Amino acid sequence: MLYLGIDQHRKQLTVCIRNEGGDVILKRQVSTEWERVREFFEEVRRLSGAEGYVVILEVCGFNDWLLKLLEEEGCRKCLLVQPEGRSKKKTDRRDANVLSETLWVNRERLLAGKRVQGVRVVLPASPEEGESRQLTALRKRIAQLRTRTINKVQRILLKHNLQRECPTKGLQTQGARKWLAGLFLGAIDRLELDQLLAQWKLWDEQLEQLDNEIARRVQSDHRAQLLGTIVGGAGYGSLAVASRIGPIERFPRPGSLANYWGLTPGCRNSGDATDRLGSITKEGSAIVRFILGQWVLHVLRRDASLRAWYSRIKKRRGSKIARVAVMRRLATIIWHMVRHDETYVIGGPARLRGRVEGCEVQPPARRAAGGRSKRRGCVFQGMAGQMNGAGRSRRIKSMLPGETESGSAGEQPDKG
């Protein structure tokens, strides 16, 4: 069997081939012209014989044609990997050599589909999921272009201090657009505003077409319909998140999905520093994190249990960290919804709600004598550990309002 490491670029493929013993038998740069690249892989198939060959390459934005070609040419398995970090000594030949060496060293685990430390294998999307990803990414990009156009219109109004003369509260109304179309401005500003209004109309038409196509796809996607039951998650957001999960069986725990989307904190622990946590890793899909951030705003308005949990974190860590925590919890909720085929239930499903309600709150463990509580306001527990018997009781009563060393009204002092 042959092991190929390919560094793909727009005009050429840099290839490093190793045999079963791990020796490099071929290093070559191949043009991406169809005739030459087909001729090269036919030669590789002849060299590999009946055992075939395996390919590893880094993920990029134009892997599709190469993956289809490798499947047609009889490639036994093609692995897409995401690089962990940047190298200070980087060339195309070095990258191809490192890829082929990584594949050969870990060949048994990679071919068996097992995890390899330091190698992040990317699962290619199915044709349907790939189209849904492309559709939702296009919708997000067009919406961003429309927002930029509206901001440029507002900049022209601010330039002439005309924003207060708008007949409506916002610009995204029919009345505001008619007012903008008839607004008297200088020649250049009028020309720019007319072009911006034309762009704005074009973005609206394209967004309407995309929304219709998204609605059609959601009707035929059970997972998207399932995620659409989340508060504020119907339509575009549900299809975008559903198409970026893949097989749920590859996530053994709910936290695995949150980690896959880059919502778990990184860490730099070493030696005695065992709790050195950082910000979230932000690995995985950025559009999913964007959509979860939008869903948080809707869920906190409707779900009282999540809102109460969010408020407790907000008091300790601030609103930004609390929102990210809710995003991470939404990711775990999505895992349960997809894994168990359940819709979103405000306050949690009945099976989990009953388990929580049936739990009894256990009293905190008693601290050693002389210990001081870490909770604010619990000064009595720390001071009570320094005294015994009646002295402890008198000292605590003296600190309470309306109490003295001799006890409360109508009580005799303890002479024991």
Distance CA 359, CA 33 (A): 66
Q: Say how many domains are in the chain.
A: 4
Looking at the chain, the whole-number percentage of residues with pLDDT higher than 90 is: 65
* Overall average pLDDT of the 280-290 stretch: 92
Structure tokens at 107: 């060949």
Q: Are residues 30 and 17 in the same domain?
A: yes
Chain centroid to Cα 310, Å, comes to 19
Angle, CA of 206, 210 and 216, to the nearest 5°: 150
pLDDT, tens digit, 9 for 90 and up, residues 213-222:
999 999 999 9
* Overall average pLDDT of the 247-263 stretch: 93
**At 79, which CATH number?**
3.30.420.140
Q: Are residues 231 and 345 in the same domain?
A: yes
Q: Are residues 145 and 183 in the same domain?
A: yes
**Domain assignment present for 131:** yes
- pLDDT at residue 374, rounded to an integer: 43
Q: Are residues 193 and 76 in the same domain?
A: no
* Res 338 pLDDT > 80: yes
**Domain assignment present for 414:** no
Distance CA 34, CA 47 (A): 20
- pLDDT at residue 355, rounded to an integer: 52
**Domain assignment present for 147:** yes
- pLDDT at residue 351, rounded to an integer: 67
- pLDDT at residue 321, rounded to an integer: 94
Structure tokens at 2: 């042959």
Q: Are residues 107 and 135 in the same domain?
A: no
**Domain assignment present for 258:** yes
**Least-confidence region, from 215-229, 299-313, 331-345, 350-364:** 350-364
**Domain assignment present for 62:** yes
**Domain assignment present for 240:** yes
pLDDT, tens digit, 9 for 90 and up, residues 33-49:
999 999 999 999 999 88
pLDDT, tens digit, 9 for 90 and up, residues 98-145:
999 999 999 999 999 888 888 888 888 899 999 999 999 999 999 999
235 sits in the region (left: phi over 0; alpha: psi -120 to 50; else beta) called: left
| Domain-terminating residue out of 200, 216, 232 | 216
Task: Answer yes or no: are the C-beta atoms of 191 and 306 closer than 8 Å.
Answer: no
| Domain-terminating residue out of 193, 216, 239 | 216
CA nearest to 245, candidates 256, 230, 233: 256
AA letter at 391: G
Domain that holds residue 196: 127-216
* Res 379 pLDDT > 80: no
Q: Which residue has the higher pLDDT, 128 or 384?
A: 128
Q: Are residues 255 and 162 in the same domain?
A: no
**Domain assignment present for 413:** no
**Domain assignment present for 347:** yes
pLDDT, tens digit, 9 for 90 and up, residues 151-197:
999 999 999 999 899 999 889 999 999 999 999 999 999 999 999 99
Task: Answer yes or no: are the C-beta atoms of 266 and 279 closer than 8 Å.
Answer: yes
Q: Are residues 251 and 319 in the same domain?
A: yes
Q: Is 13 helix (H, G, I), strand (E, B) or coil?
A: strand
| pLDDT grade for 66, boundaries at 50, 70 and 90 | very high
Please count the other Cβ atoms lying within 10 Å of the Cβ belonging to residue 15. 25
Q: Are residues 93 and 181 in the same domain?
A: no
| Domain-terminating residue out of 96, 122, 148 | 122
Cα–Cα separations (whole angstroms), residue 3 to 42, 116, 316: 15, 17, 53
Phi, psi torsion values for 58, nearest 5 degrees:
-80, 145
Q: Are residues 73 and 198 in the same domain?
A: no
How big is the chain by its Cα radius of gyration, in Å? 31
Q: Are residues 230 and 177 in the same domain?
A: no
| pLDDT grade for 207, boundaries at 50, 70 and 90 | very high
Angle, CA of 68, 71 and 77, to the nearest 5°: 120
Q: Are residues 246 and 327 in the same domain?
A: yes
Q: Are residues 176 and 238 in the same domain?
A: no
Q: Is 244 helix (H, G, I), strand (E, B) or coil?
A: coil
